[in-house]
A and B are shown apart, each in its own frame.
Chain A
């Protein structure tokens, strides 16, 4: 017993010393870090040496590391370090080639004339971290695993609906055929690839990948870093991968799991972390106070907005009148809200759902704050305060709107401020908050949005960033109901003109034409007030000046992690 304890203790001490050595800034103990690098880097002296650790805080722990089984944000951004796809996206949302040798286009013959066949050419110098080459077979395997009924994968989008086959023409060529032209192919197909040589044996032996050890400890990957350790609730460690084409300069990436924003803020201020994410703009002064931390806003397409329920069967009768909806927009001083509660330069009021997804947003100006015009519109629409209770009414129905959102504190605060603003024009507000899992529940689970038990729902949303695709949310055929419980249109929008535009853009491969279509869609939704923008909601990242060459992007934030260095 005591012997075991002794061994355990000494192991603990040894491990902690090792960690201490790895975690120490390079400047202080260069000798130790070089040793550590040499011991992990390989046997030959010719191997490149790595130095420094980048520490990143996550406010949520990744669910799984296998992309088959998670669509969670933090799992996704972790992949930028260790599991690349065909390409990443840089800070201008332009593709940066990773495994693919070129972006398929009509010019290079990768994109067929009818838009249904795409040929991906792979580089021949990309290897898995264990030295195996990455080939077309890996991509076919990935597709097979996604579509296999033996794997309970998180998402088959877009493969299930749009892709008819994936074949390996030769080791360096993957051919994907689509059932119809698919506009969002660039951003949604093959964002990751699975190592066939590692996972095929597991699949053969267990009949599924659901319980593969690789899901939690993916020791083989393809990226500038390779997985090394994951301690639940505490941290993940990735170490430099000398086999990657773009050799990284850092020795390791340490991802620290913190439970909440306050803990993350403390870690950033104390300099314990180099990169933090999901910050709010009211934290900026505190974070940037001593000049070593820079907060940058990177759009990943999210805009905070109001989704207006216009379903005649569930909405407040006033909501069906476009002028009342317009009055709601005019009666809300969103400009004061962003000024006082957020940062007006980072979170300006947006006008359309796509304002964060440049260039699809267009140049629509948001409705101004004009309570007098709002009153006039409401008067004209017949909503007047006939019983003198301070709230307008019509035909015995009070103009009290159910304004719902989740339990996030900022949203609760905005609700209270808006309630007061509306009271000035005689619109009543019934505020409701749901825990997130209930808020997003489907129709059959009594989801308040899906069942239309609301008039205005506030949340932050996005299409398939950097692609704008979000048609299902607004198509008439997607209205959720008892007959169509999984319908994604929770607003009950049924607008022929909008349907036609949305259906056209989905099959339009010409980028400029598609941008133009989206401008029309945005303008239409603005004029009909199906959506009221509240503020642009870019991701706020903190970067400590200790870590250099960090250029974050919206879709694949850590796309240039191999270029990161730690200041000497």
Chain B
């Protein structure tokens, strides 16, 4: 990616000489830097495409379901299986082919995409909330609380996350009732996967938040509100956390990407979302047994995962440059 901080004009000053200087707010500046970030724009385009695909694509999910002898639309069509049509290569009727029990892969990538994105975003939110809480509590209270929480954070960081995911998936695995989410039936395992991914990925965030707050804590305005008798919670939530927002936004964005990949890993190892609910990850489950016979089984969901993760990474990189031009970059 091009490094926009090198080329952006110095904040707030127009380069064209004697015109009235209108100082830009930090937010406007950030937006401007973001829009100049080429990779970020490509990323936005990819994400836009995928959003259109998984939302409006559902209008194209329709067809005749032979075993039920009716025409179906939407998710019902995506779940319609016709074992007579199993493992069909891509064709006019099934442009991405069919899977091992004759479900339409195109329709399943659409509805699976919705779940994968839902998992990605929810897990990232969960991760951010958890990381923020732990980081903020550790930094604000300091002392033994800080010590305990940070030792715990370090310990979690030192366990490779894939192992944590595998173990976590077993820890919470098993039967949970089906729940209704915006009119869609979701198996309980969707929630489980969200929780597991969140629980195994909050550590970096907690550290960032803690470090930021530690440096902010001694600033005058915090001391002032403390002197005015503001409660701990109020200081944490209205002063400290908002000022750590930039790194949080970046981490949360990248968190969505890693959550989607994590979901795919867990599913790949057979521990992912269960039942008839499709996700890009569980569409890949077992598909590699058909590496040779039916490459369309793994190619389409795999490529979609690659695209969305790529898009999010581009955007995340743009956000990082935009929100915090002086941050040292870690890839």
Contact = CB atoms under 8 A, between A and B. Distances in A.
Interface of A: 260-262, 286, 336-337, 339-341, 402, 404, 407, 409, 412-413, 415-417, 419-421, 423-424, 430-435, 438, 448, 453
B interface, how many residues as a size bin?
Answer: 20 to 34
Contacts of B86: 340-341
Given A340-B86, A420-B68, A453-B175, A409 B80 contact: no
Given A402-B175, A409-B286, A409-B289, A435 B271 contact: yes
A402 B170 CA distance: 20
B288 A262 contact: yes
A272 to B, nearest CB: 15
Contact of B174 (A416, A420, A438): A438
A458 to B, nearest CB: 14
A226 to B, nearest CB: 36
Nearest to B177: A430
- Output the residue of A286, A340, A404, A453 with the most chain B CB within 10 A: A340
Nearest to B176: A432
A435 B173 contact: yes
Contact of B101 (A416, A424, A435, A453): A416
B304 interface: no
Contacts of A404: 175
Contact of A434 (B79, B174, B177): B174
7 contacts: A261-B289, A416-B101, A416-B276, A417-B83, A420-B79, A432-B175, A432-B275
B274 interface: yes
Nearest to A269: B292
Contact of B178 (A337, A340, A430): A430
Contact of B289 (A260, A423, A424): A260
B89 interface: no
A404 B176 CA distance: 12
Nearest to B286: A409
B304 to A, nearest CB: 21
A416 B100 CA distance: 11
Interface SS, A side: helix
Interface SS, B side: loop
- Output the residue of B84, B101, B102 with the most chain A CB within 10 A: B101
Closest 10 CB pairs of A and B: A340-B83, A409-B286, A432-B175, A431-B275, A433-B274, A262-B289, A413-B101, A407-B270, A416-B276, A417-B81
Nearest to B170: A435
A340 to B, nearest CB: 3
A409 B285 contact: yes
Interface in B175-190: 175, 177-178, 187
A262 B291 contact: yes
Interface string B154-184: 0000000000000000100111011000000
A339 B288 CA distance: 23
A423 B68 contact: yes
B68 A432 contact: no
Interface in B56-78: 67-68
Contacts, number: 74
A555 B82 CA distance: 37
Contacts of B275: 415, 430-433
Contacts of A341: 83, 86, 100-101
Given A417-B83, A421-B67, 5 more contacts: A340-B102, A341-B100, A407-B271, A420-B79, A433-B275
Contact of B276 (A262, A286, A431): A431
B151 interface: no
B234 interface: no
Nearest to A453: B175
Given A262-B288, A341-B86, A438-B170, A448 B175 contact: yes
A288 to B, nearest CB: 15
Contacts of A435: 170, 173, 270-271
Nearest to B83: A340
Contacts of B289: 260-262, 409
A260 B287 CA distance: 13
A336 B288 CA distance: 25
A438 B83 CA distance: 30
Given A409-B285, A413-B100, A431-B276, A337 B83 contact: yes
Nearest to B65: A420
Contacts of A260: 289
A277 to B, nearest CB: 16
B293 interface: yes
Contacts of B271: 407, 435
B97 to A, nearest CB: 16
- Output the residue of B83, B84, B289, B293 with the most chain A CB within 10 A: B83
A144 to B, nearest CB: 39
Contacts of B175: 402, 404, 432, 434, 448, 453
B80 A432 contact: no
Contacts of A336: 83
Given A404-B175, A435-B170, A420 B274 contact: no
A453 B188 CA distance: 15
Nearest to B80: A420
B270 A416 contact: no
A32 to B, nearest CB: 34
Contacts of B102: 340
Nearest to A433: B274
B206 to A, nearest CB: 30
Contacts of B68: 420, 423-424
Contacts of A433: 274-275
Nearest to A400: B178
B268 to A, nearest CB: 12
Contacts of A416: 79, 81, 101, 103, 276
A438 B173 CA distance: 9
Contacts of B288: 262
A339 B80 CA distance: 18
Contact of A286 (B81, B173, B285, B293): B293
A417 B82 CA distance: 8
B81 A420 contact: yes
A52 to B, nearest CB: 30
A404 B303 CA distance: 31
A404 B175 CA distance: 9
Interface in B75-129: 79-81, 83-84, 86, 100-103
A433 B273 CA distance: 9
A344 to B, nearest CB: 12
A434 B291 CA distance: 25
